[in-house]
A and B are shown apart, each in its own frame.
Chain A
Amino acid sequence: MGSYLPSTKEEREQMLNAIGMKDWRDLYADVPDGMILDRQLDIPSGLSELEVRDAVTAMAAKNTQYQYILRGAGAYDHYIPSIVKYIPAKEEFLTAYTPYQAEMSQGILQSIFEYQTMICELTGMDVSNASVYDGATAAAEAAAMCRDRKRQVTLMSAAANPETINVVRSYCYAAGAEFRLVPAKDGRTDVEALKELLGPDTAGFYMQQPNFYGLFEDAEALGREVHAAGAQFIMGCNPIALGIMKTPAECGADIAVGEGQPLGMPLGFGGPYLGFMAASSKMMRRLPGRIVGETVDSRGERAFVLTLQAREQHIRREKAGSNICSNEALCALTAGLYLSVMGPDGLEQAAVQSMSKAHYLAEGLCALPGVDMVCSGEFFDEFLVTMPRAEEVLSALKAEGILGGLPVEGGMLWCVTEKVPKAVLDKTVSIVKEVLA
């Protein structure tokens, strides 16, 4: 049986004696008799490291590992440079606690300060927090930031990721706030429908850029309508796309959020991921979660600390805007590291190549009978096409180690990142061609 107790039974007995006890049960004297479990847990016996490795590895082996992944929909297979995997695995970064004691944790605090700066650079916004759990919860927290006594309604574009929509809807349900979906037309937010829904009780409107179907929306136009109604404008952005596309700040957003997973985190069957949140300076004190700030120490040297803590739950308790306690610190460090490794040019390349390769694949697929783009207009690295015999297509691709697009209502949602070579895209087209023949 495995154990991490650095003491022998004899040592523990001596320690028990040192505190005047004979049996470990004496430690639980306060627990009413009937409540102590009088049997062993109904789980298997403990294992040695070698046995555990075999058992868990066997589980992993039951998964299908694809060599190339052409599916996105909220989780993206971008290339993770080697050093980006290596550095967050350093034991100190990995095992440290939250940097509440600034004198012992300048390394973490500085890494978050650097991350916050980079998120501001990506989004063009004034301030960023230290991250939240993922893009979907970031959207929900952003929607909550906008609500006040007079404005309680949250509007959300139906062209956003269904996962994000469901999370925001759930958070609104929890808070007792009204949630309304703004319908999409031809794959994008319907501006007319938005105008109808906006009102004096609207707190905020959320849209995704590019949206769930990979399409670029006219964010500025939407933002203008939202502001005309006195509400706040929230944009959820793909951070790789931000390497080249107009920033939320340039589009007039009040709050910018998004899923940071593409910045060096593996797909990992869904997590851990990273929610980034950035805002204009007027919204600074409404940002939830931890924030790192710069100050000086008692010797006048630059130092970093967790700051603006009086916003947070451990101080405000039921008056806090959010209950959030932790951030995704190690993921934020990973994101800052990834952005440093790629640099402005590398990030641009990742974005341009993802977009180009997606267009290349779209062209190839749309030349096939029965395969057509469902919506018109500019798209980034994802696109929705009609796809007859979707299941057969996926099986045929699987045999070649390729995970095909996601079957959704109306067709198949494909995604291509910079990782996929042209030859694989050509092969994909010819496999689909064969299935449809």
Chain B
Amino acid sequence: MKLIFEKSVKGHKMSVLPACDVPETLLPEALKRAEKPALPELSEVEISRHYTQLNKRVHGVNSGFYPLGSCTMKYNPRIDEEMAALPGFANIHPLASAADAEGCLEVLETAGKYLCEISGMDDMSFQPAAGAHGEFTGVLLIKQYHDARGDAKRTKIIVPDSAHGTNPATAAMCGYEVVNVASNDRGGVDPDALKAVLGDDTAGLMLTNPNTVGLFDPNILKITDMVHEAGGLCYYDGANLNAVMGIVRPGDMGFDCVHMNLHKTFATPHGGGGPGAGAVGCKKHLSPYMPKSALRDGGEHVQVRSFLGNFLVVVRALTYIMTLGREGIPEAASGAVLNANYLMEKIRGTFAPAFDHVCMHEFVLDLSEFKKETGVSALDVAKTLIDRGIHPPTMYFPLIVHEALMLEPTETESRDTLDEAAEIFRELYQMGYDDPQTMHEAPHCAQIGRPDEVQAARNPRLRWNR
């Protein structure tokens, strides 16, 4: 497929603006750019066709099963889109007065109230634009808290070795030393290992529960108690909230602050990699440290993004929460957990689960034995799934399982879809023994064959050149 620049023809254009109806003011020579930017020149039909072609080479949640572990690819309701596109929201300036933006402020307040109730927190901010951004904000709350107490000793943040890469990266961004704590055989935090690393230099702990291998850590209260006793605070990574929303609350598990991924748990669309929103909640003692907007709120507060955050994403999430309501939220969670366990059961006897135990909303398959026997790796299985129209599960994560495939079906998949998917996994398992070569060379009928990633990294070509 050609790049848009390769379709450009000099003189092709769209007619968007009228002629200027005031006298033209031109830039003085000293401020002008030497040449116009080489942007493509196309008519509307050419643009329309180009993006249609691109769109055909994208797999959305609407295209098929998308069991990406830890990403919660649940269905994105259309009504949420319609509400976010209302001119009454889309055309409001972020610096409109409180009176002029009464509706927007009501959306933020209402969403905040509902999410506080769901998470067991007292206060909510929508300023962070993504999950990692929410993590940054959460750890920033912890940092400000200790700074305000004049406690400069607390230089360490504890992170389980099963944690997502954003956790230690976030801690490092906030100037903390990262202390890894080993997972036990359930992927949970070993309380003895935790005790060994806790001290008066502990600023806090970053944790997700259910954990990154999809299991609920039953020691959670003990863990958060231990951290509090050592004088540290507990931050909850809400990436896995879909398993427990409306059933268990991070605030009841002993966490002081949380972030939630609106683009995972609350069904706002992923957009190919963004925009999302990483709502951050906190208990009262951290409220003074929540981020604010310099121009809207004035004063000396930290700030992590301009204005109040990804407002239109919050509109989507609020519409979703209002649709599900008090009954629908826990039902979605238990539906997600049911679907994951059902799928795991249907695959039983083929690829081995990493932890043969009731899972939460996701489960991990360990293909290391399979690889030893057939030579077929998790990567090969993933690429073969592409040929079957299924988006591959999450790979390379968590780090504590080798040759891992992490599956999260979410609650918005029907039993038939799960049965069909399980059938395909069973077929692929057999194929590993019968026809490994085809799997090594997969995918065969996708948009492209396997890309040369080594070449891409060694000789980066990051833009088109004429």
With both beta carbons as reference points, the residue of chain B lying nearest to A301 in the complex is identified as B448
- Pick the residue among A106, A268, A290 that contacts B1 (CB under 8 A): A106
Q: Is the CB of A325 within 8 A of B132?
A: yes
A166 vs B297: C-alpha distance when bound (angstroms): 12
Q: With the chains together, A16 CA to B122 CA distance in Å?
A: 35
Whether A150 sits at the interface, judged by CB under 8 Å, is no
With an 8 A cutoff between CB atoms, is B270 at the interface? yes
Contacts of A122 in B (CB 8 A): 37
In chain A, positions 306-325 with a C-beta closer than 8 Å to chain B are: 307-310, 312-320, 322-325
**Interface window among B197-205, B308-316, B366-374, B424-432:** B308-316
- Interfacial chain B residues near A87, Cβ < 8 Å: 48, 51, 55
0/1 interface trace, chain A 238-267, chain B, CB 8 Å (1 if under):
000011111100100000000100000011
Could you tell me if A343 and B136 are in contact, using CB atoms closer than 8 angstroms? no
**Residues of chain A contacted by B446 (CB below 8 angstroms):** 103-104
> What is the CB-to-nearest-CB distance from A421 to chain B, in angstroms, rounded to a whole number?
6
Which chain B residue shows the least CB distance to A122? B37
Tell me if B386 and A293 are in contact (CB < 8 A).
no
Majority SS at the chain B contact face: loop
Nearest-CB distance from A184 to chain B (Å)? 16
Q: Is the CB of A270 within 8 A of B311?
A: yes
B322 within 8 A of A: yes
**B339 neighbours in A (Cβ, 8 Å):** 15
Report A160 CB to chain B, min CB distance, Å.
11
How many whole Å from A48's CB to the nearest CB in chain B? 8
Residues of A within 8 A of B271 (CB): 88, 93-96, 328-331
Q: Which residues of A contact B57 (CB under 8 A)?
A: 105-107, 110
Give the shortest distance, in Å, between A121 (CB) and chain B (any CB): 4
Given A24-B338, A66-B91, A303-B448: A92 in contact with B325 (beta carbons within 8 A): no
> Beyond A46-B322, A63-B88, A303-B451, is A341–B16 a contact (Cβ under 8 Å)?
yes
> Which residues between 136 and 151 of chain B lie within 8 Å of chain A, taking CB atoms?
136, 139-140, 143
Q: With A and B bound together, what is the CA distance between A175 and B140 in angstroms? A: 10
Listed residue (B221, B310, B383) with the most chain A CB atoms within 10 angstroms of its CB: B310
With CB as the reference atom, state the residue of chain A lying closest to B321.
Answer: A43
Binds B, one of A196-204, A222-230, A344-352, A367-375: A344-352
Cβ–Cβ contact A2 & B324, under 8 A: yes
Contact of A113 among B3, B22, B76, B100 (CB under 8 A): B3
**A-contacting residues, B326-343, CB 8 Å:** 326-332, 334-335, 337-339, 341-342
Report how far A160 CA is from B347 CA in the complex, Å. Answer: 57
Any chain B CB within 8 A of the CB of A283? no
Residue of B nearest to A352 (CB): B24
Task: Assess whether A59 is in contact with B31, with CB atoms less than 8 Å apart.
Answer: no
Query: Which residues of B lie under 8 Å from residue A95 when comparing CB positions?
Result: 60-62, 76, 269-271
Verify B41–A37 contact, CB threshold 8 A: no
Q: Does A430 contact B (CB under 8 A)?
A: no
Chain A residue with Cβ nearest B120? A37
What residues on A are CB-neighbors of B221 within 8 Å?
32, 35
Instruction: Check A178 for interface membership: any CB of B closer than 8 A.
Output: no
- Contact call A47/B323, Cβ cutoff below 8 A: yes
Contacts of B337 in A (CB 8 A): 27-28
When chains A and B are docked, how far (Å) is the Cα of A348 from the Cα of B133?
35
Report Cα–Cα, A271/B99, bound state, in Å.
Answer: 19
The residues of B that contact A325 with a CB separation of less than 8 Å are 130-132, 165-166
Residue contact A46 to B342, C-beta cutoff 8 Å: no
CB distance from A289 to the nearest CB of B (A): 10
Known: A36-B247, A113-B3. A103 touches B451 (CB 8 A): yes
**Are A324 and B117 neighbours in the complex by a CB distance under 8 Å?**
no
Contact partner, A406, options B16, B41, B95, Cβ 8 Å: B95
Q: Give the contacting residue for B4; candidates A77, A340, A344; CB below 8 A.
A: A340
Q: Tell yes or no: B236 within 8 A of A by CB.
A: no
Contact of A295 with B322 at beta-carbon distance under 8 Å, contacts A105-B58, A170-B303 already known: no
Within 8 A of A (CB), among B53-77: 53-63, 66, 68, 71, 73-77
Q: Is the CB of B460 within 8 A of A284?
A: yes
B196 an interface residue at 8 Å Cβ cutoff? no
B246 within 8 A of A: yes
Known contacts: A269-B104, A346-B16. The answer to whether A47 contacts B23 by CB under 8 A is no
Instruction: Report Cα–Cα, A357/B23, bound state, in Å.
Output: 8
How far, in whole Å, are A271 and B379 apart by their CA atoms in the complex? 37
Q: Is the CB of B103 within 8 A of A59?
A: yes
Closest to B301 in A: A166
**How many angstroms between the C-alpha atoms of A331 and B276 in the bound complex?**
11
Q: Smallest Cβ distance from B365 to chain A, in angstroms? A: 17
Return A374 CB to nearest CB of chain B, in Å: 18
The answer, among A14, A272, A421, for a CB contact under 8 Å with B129, is A272
Task: Using CB atoms, name the residue of chain A closest to B348.
Answer: A19
**Can you report 12 A-B residue pairs in the complex whose CB atoms are below 8 A from each other?**
A7-B335, A12-B335, A46-B323, A47-B325, A64-B100, A101-B392, A102-B448, A113-B3, A114-B5, A137-B129, A346-B16, A406-B95
Closest 10 CB pairs of A and B: A46-B325, A60-B88, A330-B271, A270-B307, A329-B273, A272-B275, A298-B449, A2-B323, A270-B94, A107-B57
Other A-B contacts than A43-B113, A62-B102, 16 sampled, CB-CB below 8 A, are: A4-B77, A29-B358, A104-B58, A104-B391, A105-B58, A121-B39, A165-B294, A173-B302, A266-B90, A269-B89, A272-B275, A307-B460, A318-B168, A329-B274, A344-B38, A418-B17
